[in-house]
Chains A and B, each alone.
Chain A
Amino acid sequence: MTRPSSNAWDSRTSRWATRMALALGLPLAVFLVFLLAVSTDNTGQPSPFFAWLYWINFVVAGVLLLVVLALGLRLGWRLHKRRFGSRLLFKLAAVFALVGVLPGVVIYTVSYQFVARSIETWFDVKVEGALSAGLNLGRTTLNVLQNDLQSKARNLSVQIADDPTLLSPLSMEQLRQQLGLQQITVFDGNGTVLVTAGGNPFSLVPDLPGPNSMRQLRTMGSIADIEGGDDGASQTPQTLKLRVVISLPTRHFVLPGHGRYLQLIQNVPQAISSSALEVQRAYGEYQERALGREGLKRMYISTLTLTLFLAVFLAVLLAVVLGNQLAKPLLLLADGMKAVAEGDLRQKPNFQRNDELGVLVRSFNAMTNQLAEARAQVQFNHDALEASRAYLQSVLDNLSTGVLVLGSDQRLALANPSATRLLRAPLQGLIGQPLNQHPSLQALAQTIADAFTSLDEQEDAGPSPHWLQQIEYPLPGSDATITLLARGARLALPGQPASVVVFDDISEVISAQRSLAWAEVARRLAHEIKNPLTPIQLSAERLQMKLAAKLEGADRDMLQRSTTTIVNQVQAMQHMVNDFRDYARLPAGKPEAMNLNALIQDVLNLYTSLSAHDGASPEEKPQVRADLAADLPHILGNATQLRQVIHNLLQNAIDAVAAQPERKVRIRTEALPTPSGAALRVRLSVSDNGPGFSDKILNRAFEPYVTSKPRGTGLGLAVVKKIAEEHHARIEIQNLQSEGSVCGARVSLIFPGLAQQHSVDAPLRQA
């Protein structure tokens, strides 16, 4: 019975061991109890195995007790820990144990009483008295027989003394038969047989008393003895034999011990002897049991108690094991339920049993499987949805168009990053709030609301009703305004009114449109205005030439001044018209590889000489500094046009710094590395420390007639832009910031550099 108790059900091995231990231990225990009971039954023969059996049973009971205690402690501990299922197990075990123990205890109590009482009833005074009386009866009978034999001996001795002839075998035999004796012997003090009759015919020597008896005979003169009898050592009852020896009287003097003796031997009748011996045997057994009564009782009761303990322990053990067997599928189910409730839908170990519980467990597992499949399907759908949402989100995020989704009351439901960027408002923070909550968006919100209202007023506008509107949107935090092209539509979502507004910053498109328009206007104006100018000038010159000589004094002076004014103004107008024409129709020069630095040097030389020619003082002369990169790649460009670009930029810069106490203009070139390393780019930037551009100008700086200068056509930067576009250069304009305030402006052009000579022609043809 080496039954592991702790964690007995936790592993398959220990479960197997438990089963083996039960399978071996239970029959062993039952067998031991049986042996004990059997050995108790046979009280006559002391069994040497009894003690062994007793102790083995004792040890088994102890082991069982330990196991039961261990199981009980374990159960109690689990109960205390509120381990799941322990209460059910406890109840089952308690019920089983009760069912097992209660009958055992009842039977034990009854048996105990029975044994104690019945053992006591075996022994009472009457039985003992009867046995003693029987013994006395036997003893008295034997004494009577012995006395009878003694008197016979005495009579015989008298006869022999009277008639010595009787001492012959023949007469002795007659006497023996006459008296009904077994043997008659006459012998002397030395044990010499004088005459004998009867006795064992096969024995030559007659049966004489032993040495002790002889000694007694010599001193006492006679002996009377009862021989034989059973002392319990031998099973076969022996017959009793009476022996009487008396000395024969003699007339002669004899030495003591040398006389003659007469011995009579008579068998006690078979009935008497066997009955007497039987009584003696019964008396002995009765006494033995009476004396061993306490031991007997103790033996029976301890056997009984031991049996009870074994039975009870086995019952409890079986109760726990059976309870466990019964509770296991329930616990398995409950465990599974708990796991499912916690969301664990993995496959549970199947429970191989064919009863209802097994069916229950299997159907539970099937249900869990279905649940898991359903959940997997849901998860799959969810993932797909998530993926499509992520896809949509990424599309929205990377769309340059701003998208706003509005719910009821213009609550913002969604805004993509482009919307935030375009509107420059914290739209992500406004999600869930009405759009007009933000001060800078109120106008926009109103416009959108109006647009939707008017859309709603139109009945059946079309298959997809939407509005399209151009909105001027003042950028928050600056005085600039951008133009948004917004398009709105109702979203057909069930249950909730929603609308989507899509908008684009079309400022640049408008700017470009404006540029085109201006170019057209300029071309036409130039054409229309230029034609009459030459006749006007010529007419004025001819007036002066013809009339100068005819007039005198003040009239002549006036003519002189008027014609001069006309000519000058016409020339100025012509100049302006030329400018317009230049803008409208720039000469399409042939681009060629050239060094930008050389061009800049040329223009700078011109400027220094120009400044000197104007007679400006050295203090007023703007300081033009050139930072030219040493190994600048060549670019593809038209020298004439680029010279004009540089000239325009420098002129703008110099004009900008005219009012500054310290006039600084800086022109620089540098090679920009590209991340891919394919082709270098060249940046030409002109910066000044002037007042910078206002926001309004900054947005539209490249449009014609947009200027910050009091005098100026506003065509300078427009021309620059146009040329830059023809050179596929990017143009950037920005204010320079220093410590939060504007401290100058910079215009940069970034040209594609020429890395290889053979790729020169490609952009040209496209241009």
Chain B
Amino acid sequence: MKTRPASPDPMRRKLLRNGLALAAGVSLFSRARATTIDTEPLMLTMSPEGLFVTTAAVFALPRSLEDVLHRGIALYFETVVTVVRPRWYWFNEDIAQARREVRLAYQPLLQRYRVSVGGLQQNYDSLDEALGVVQRTRHLRVAEPSQLTAGQTYQLDARFKLDLSQLPRPFQLNVSSQSDWKIEATFPPQPFVWTP
């Protein structure tokens, strides 16, 4: 039996974090003021090519962030999807992970929004269009079939957040205290049985 120590599952971590935060009585405020994100249920596609997932985390960009965006500063959003095998006796085992990074930028010269996913670039005239692309992840390949065992129950965890570490450094010092900049969501974990 493999007992490789893995990162604790996000749900538990979240519970723990929330518990601690509630106990401290600090996190309640910041949560209330943080941008609310609607996380739609994860949509799984199991095919012989692998496990694919489609996510949607819908939110409205706060005005301060929109302002920053319009001043030409690029925002990076990332979606991380992890397949874990729940283990009652130990931390859950990470099976596979997929990460999608989306760059949202505004071109003041052309007054256009540009969304870059990987090497692909797409221009949009309106922010809503661009955000729609940012918020949705379509058909993200999470796991190879070889990584999964048929009939086995797995759990799919997904997170969506604004990646602050890619911001220019002065911002990093600034934004850690501002709740507007905290765009984070954890999707409800989705258990599934691998049946390709």
Contacts and interface: CB of A to CB of B under 8 A. Distances in A.
A291 B169 contact: no
A505 B43 CA distance: 140
B25 interface: no
A26 interface: no
Contacts of B173: 292, 295, 298-299
A287 B73 CA distance: 8
Contact of B72 (A44, A226, A288, A293): A288
A298 B171 CA distance: 11
A298 B174 contact: yes
Contact of B116 (A233, A290, A292, A299): A233
A279 B168 contact: no
Contacts of B73: 284, 287-288, 291
B77 to A, nearest CB: 15
Nearest to B103: A233
B167 interface: yes
B125 to A, nearest CB: 10
B109 A229 contact: yes
Interface in B148-191: 165-175
A129 interface: no
Nearest to B71: A287
Interface in B103-154: 103, 105, 107-111, 114, 116, 121, 123
B19 to A, nearest CB: 26
A8 to B, nearest CB: 37
Nearest to B73: A288
A291 B71 contact: yes
A472 B83 CA distance: 135
Contacts of A290: 71
Given A292-B168, A298-B173, A231 B107 contact: yes
Contacts of A233: 74, 103, 105, 116
Interface in A33-55: 43-44, 46-48, 50-51
Contacts of B166: 46
Interface in A251-302: 276-277, 279-280, 283-284, 287-296, 298-299
A142 interface: yes
A360 B174 CA distance: 60
B16 interface: no
Interface in A287-328: 287-296, 298-299
A43 B170 contact: yes
B170 A139 contact: no
B172 A139 contact: no
A138 interface: yes
A287 B170 contact: no
A43 B168 contact: yes
B193 interface: no
A293 B74 contact: no
B22 interface: no
Given A231-B74, A284-B73, A276 B170 contact: no
A279 B109 CA distance: 9
Contacts of B168: 43-44, 46, 288, 292
Given A139-B111, A294-B174, A284 B72 contact: yes
A289 B172 CA distance: 12
Interface centre among B68, B103, B165, B173, by most chain A C-beta atoms within 10 angstroms, is B173
Given A289-B170, A295-B172, A298-B173, A280 B109 contact: yes
A142 B108 CA distance: 13
Given A46-B165, A283-B72, A294-B174, 17 more contacts: A43-B170, A46-B166, A51-B172, A142-B109, A142-B110, A226-B110, A227-B123, A231-B116, A233-B103, A284-B73, A287-B72, A288-B72, A288-B171, A291-B71, A292-B170, A295-B172, A295-B174
18 contacts: A44-B168, A46-B166, A46-B167, A139-B109, A139-B111, A229-B107, A231-B74, A232-B72, A232-B74, A232-B105, A283-B108, A284-B72, A291-B73, A292-B170, A292-B173, A294-B174, A296-B170, A299-B173
Q: Closest 7 A-B residue pairs measured CB to CB?
A: A292-B170, A284-B72, A295-B170, A287-B71, A295-B174, A295-B173, A296-B170
